[in-house]
Amino acid sequence: MVKPTNLYTIIDIETTGGKFNEEGVTEIAIYKFDGHEIVDKFSSLVNPEIPIQPFVVKLTGIKNKMLRSAPKFYEVAKRIIEITEGTTIVAHNSSFDYRILKLEFGRLGYEYKRKTICTVELSKTLIPDMDSYSLGKLCKSLGIPITDRHRATGDALATVKLFKILLNKDSDKKIIKASIQEEQKSELNPKLISILRDLPSSTGVYYIHIKGGDIVYIGKSKNIKKRLNQHFLNKSAKAYKMQKELVAVSYEETGSELIALLKESEEIKANQPKYNRAQLKTKFIYGLYHFIDENGYIQLKIEKVRDGDEALTSFTSLTEGNKGLDKLVEKYKLCQKLTNQYKTKSACFNYGIDKCNGACIGEESPEDYNKRVEELIKNHTFENQNFLIIDKGRNPNEKSVILIEDGIYIGFGFYNLENQIVNKKILKSIITPMKHNKEVKNIIQSYLRNRKVDKIIELSKDI
């Protein structure tokens, strides 16, 4: 039997969270992969001997009491060395997992070195134009089943399946070979470590400052500390230049990811930081438009955004648009032909499986069909609508609120759970005014289409 020339170990690690380079491993999963199948595996909970941060407990479900009888890292270290010997480590955001391994082995006085491949960077090269390269969203887009999300075994197995797809896409393996890192930078300079130490692991907007206080980059993240760590470990020319220039990082916690997105957009437009040039361009380049055809049916179609013609809702890519329209077709039982999702001169595919009432072949009248389309249009436009978006606050005793009035984004605020929003005067007193524009509307529509908020409250004119 011929031995495989390339061996990989796909790894995922869960940690306690906390200060940079002070984390401890709580769970590890390793799958040795020869490019075709898994040939060895190891997984274990690990007792880090330090408490797990509350936000990590919520994310992973791993609790301190679960780890009391688990082996300590030094007890599994030999097995980790053996299974990864002579292999290239593969991980989704490998800079994190590899740094944690080097950190733990360093505490034992052992210098741990392996070649590495990052499936985030590899996916960006081999599968461009995806809406997101997070493991969960990437797997969903590619149809990769993923169970036990944010647990080492579940995430590592999903990464194995992702890596197999990437290997198949790179037929001559030139891109894979070029992506192998002989040695990733294991330590940040003291200035960056000091900055990371004071950052929160919470949702918000952050600002990178250079000498004199000027802002050169603005970003948002669900975990500010983790995102800045990624900036600091990034090896691109742009990231390296920014790392050299920065002298400080400020931030504003928002609790709500939607508020972070809205605030990031406004701040980038107001400050125009030099490293945010790409984000100054319009992100939503495809729109959902409607028109009445010669038979009286309201048709829907995804097209590139047209100046002066308001879209029902907008998307960052054609792929996202088609996926979004597919969901609407199913929700409102619309015709694939009349939504331009199925090219045919006869009945659409959904008609054959009783998911279309036959508008495509004239069996359903325009009046009946258009009622459902008009309901969709009403639910996907802000025009003349008044409502509140209630979501997470900056702490457990608080909620965030976004106010939409007559279809216009007014601003956001926060209120204590003990207080009630009972009238417009109280509501306006807690709202920080913000600017409304097409980008803001797109951000809100996109967020509500793809993610959940605590609740949406429709307002009467006299609240």
Give per-residue pLDDT as tens, 439-455: 888 899 888 887 889 99
Helices 438-450, 257-271: crossing angle, 10 deg rounding: 160
401 backbone dihedrals φ, ψ, rounded to 5°: -140, 135
* pLDDT confidence of residue 339: 95
- pLDDT of 386 > 90? The answer is no
pLDDT at 1: 38
Average pLDDT for 329-339: 94
Band the pLDDT of 205: cuts 50, 70, 90.
very high
pLDDT digits (tens, 9 = 90+) for 308-325: 777 888 888 888 889 889
The answer to whether 86 and 7 are in contact (CB under 8 A) is: yes
Q: Which residue has the higher pLDDT, 73 or 285?
A: 73
- pLDDT at 182 > cutoff 70: yes
Ramachandran area for residue 55 (φ above 0: left; ψ -120 to 50: alpha; else beta): alpha
**pLDDT tier, 186 (very low <50, low <70, confident <90, very high otherwise):** very low
Tell me, what's the pLDDT at 445? 86
| pLDDT tens digits, one per residue of 232-264 | 887 778 888 888 899 999 999 999 999 999 999
Q: Name the DSSP class of 383.
A: T
Burial (CB < 10 A; 0-12, 13-18, 19+), residue 284, is: buried
Q: Token pair of 298, please?
A: 């309201």
Where helices occur in 69-151 by DSSP H, the ranges are 73-84, 94-107, 119-126, 135-142
pLDDT of 184 strictly over 60: no
Alpha helices in 180-287 (DSSP H): 190-197, 224-233, 237-245, 257-271, 277-280
Are 34 and 11 in contact, with CB atoms under 8 Å apart?
Answer: no
**Sign of the alpha-carbon torsion through 406, 411, 417, 422:** negative
pLDDT tens by residue, 48-102 = 999 999 889 998 999 999 999 999 999 999 999 999 999 999 999 998 999 999 9
Q: Let me know: does 206 contact 186? Beta carbons within 8 Å.
A: no
Angle among Cα 60, 64, 69 to the nearest 5 degrees reads 115
Instruction: State which H helix or E strand residue 290 sits in.
Output: strand 286-292
Average pLDDT, the chain: 89
Q: What is the pLDDT of residue 4?
A: 46
Is the predicted pLDDT of residue 461 greater than 80, yes or no? no
Amino acid (1-letter code) at residue 216: V
Q: Among candidates 367, 374, 297, which has minimal Cα distance to 332? A: 374
Q: Tell me what the mean pLDDT of segment 155-175 comes to.
A: 92
Query: Which candidate, 279, 283, 265, places its Cα nearest to that of 320?
Result: 283
Backbone angles phi, psi at 289, to 5 degrees: -115, 160
Lookup result for tokens 């100054």: 280
Residue 217, beta-bridge partner list: 208
* Pairing mode, strands 115-118 and 88-91: parallel
Distance between CA 196 and CA 190 in Å, rounded? 10
Triad 8, 122, 323: Cα angle to 5° = 120
Percentage, residues of the chain above pLDDT 90: 59
